Amino acid sequence: MNGLGGLNKSEHGVGIGLVQLQLPTVVTRDDLARQTEVIVAMVAKARRNQGTMDLVVFPEYALHGLSMDINPEIMCRLDGPEVAAFKKACRDNSIWGCFSIMEFNPDGMPYNSGLIIDDQGDLKLYYRKMHPWVPVEPWEPGNLGIPVIDGPKGAKLALIICHDGMFPEMARECAYKGAEIMIRTAGYTAPIRDSWKFTNQSNAFCNLMVTANVCMCGSDGTFDSMGEGMICNFDGAIIAHGTSGRVNEIITAEVRPDLVREARLGWGVENNIYQFGHRGYVAVAGGAGDAPYSYMHDLVAGQYRLPWEAEVKVTDGTSCGFEKPVRTYGKTFKLAGE
C-alpha cells in the first residue's frame, strides 16, 4: 500500500510527504521572515519532488525553533505575513500543506497552533495544541477541541501536536469524530524516539486510523531533533519511516482512506474504535454502552485526582525556568490598575 513511496498512486490513494525540516534558531523578526522563506521553498521542493503528492506536512516548531521564546515580536497571527506566505505557497504549488505557528494570545500565554491549508490557499483546519509538553513548554492549553475536515480526495483529516499523541484519548477523539488520517507534528528530541514510535503505531491500530507523524530534524547548536517521519497504516504497521536523520528529507507514502473505511465497517476482531462503546455485544444485544471508567466521570465533574496526587513533585514550570502561574485556565491577564 506504499506505492513506492507514493510514486505509483492508486485511484483512491492520498500521497503524503513528511518534511524532516532542519531545526532553526529564530530570535528576531528578520529570523522569522527568513525561516518563512525556507518553509515556502520546501513546499515548492515537495511539489517538484513528487507530482503525485497531495499533502506536505511540516513539523511543530518549523517556524520558531525550540527556544520556547514567547517574545510577542515573533509571535504569529492568522492574518499575519507568515500565514499569508504559506497560503500562497500552497496555491502556487497546487498542494495541501500542514504548518506550525506559535500564535499571539492577547489574553494569556501564546498558543502552539497548527494549520492545514488546501491547494487553493484556503485555511481549512485550525487547531491549538491541547497538551503542551509540561514542564518544558509555556504555551496556553488549547481551547478549540479537535477539528476534523475533508482533506485531499475527501479523506477525513485531523491534526494533533507532539505531546498530544502520548494521550490515547486524543487519537480516540480524532477517530470518534471521523478522522481516517491523523497527522501528528512534533519537535521531539532523541530521548523520545522509542515512545514516539510505539505511540504512533498504537494510535493507528487502536483506532483503525492512518497516522502521519514527523519531527524537526538536526541540531540548532543546543537541541538535537530526530526527524523520524513515520506513516503507520490502520493496522499499526509502519509503511514509511525516516530512520536516517537526514535534514530536509521528505518521507513519502501513499495511504488508502478507502481501506480505512472498509476495515471500520468489516472488521470483527480488533475493531476497537467500535467495540469501545459496545462492550461484549456477543453476550448482550448491542453491547454495553455505559461509561465504566472512573477517570472520565471525575474529569467531567472537575474532580480528576490521582491516588498519589498530593505527592506529585513537578506541577509547574519552575524547574525549566518559568515563573509559577497564578492565572487559572479560562481567565485572562489582568492589566495594571485592573
For the stretch 276-302, pLDDT in tens is 999 999 999 999 999 999 999 999 999
Q: Which of 9, 87, 129, 156 is catalytic?
A: 129
Q: β-strands 230-232, 238-241: how paired?
A: antiparallel
Return the closest-CA partner of residue 251 out of 217, 218, 214: 214
> How confident is residue 61, by pLDDT bands cut at 50, 70 and 90?
very high
- Per the annotation, the verdict on 129 as an active-site residue is yes
Q: What is the pLDDT of residues 198-211, one digit of tens each?
A: 999 999 999 999 99
Q: What stretches of 114-181 show up as alpha helix (H) in DSSP?
A: 168-176
Which homologous superfamily does the CATH classification assign to the domain defined by 3-269?
Carbon-nitrogen hydrolase (3.60.110.10)
Which pLDDT value is given to residue 333? 75
d(CA 126, CA 86): 14
Q: Which residues contact 88 (CB under 8 A, 6 or more apart)?
A: 40, 121
pLDDT (mean) for 235-250: 96
pLDDT score of 164 more than 70: yes
- Are 252 and 214 contacting, i.e. CB atoms less than 8 angstroms apart? no
Which pLDDT value is given to residue 334? 61
Mean pLDDT over the full length of the chain: 96
pLDDT score of 337 more than 80: no
The kind and range of the H/E element at 91 are: helix 81-93
This prediction's pTM:
0.96
pLDDT (mean) for 77-104: 98
Which pLDDT value is given to residue 5? 83
Which pLDDT value is given to residue 9? 86
Phi, psi for 123 (deg, rounded to 5): -70, 120
Q: What is the pLDDT of residues 105-120, one digit of tens each?
A: 999 999 999 999 999 9
Q: Which of 60, 140, 180, 228 is catalytic?
A: 60
- Per the annotation, the verdict on 162 as an active-site residue is yes
Q: Which of 162, 174, 215, 232 is catalytic?
A: 162
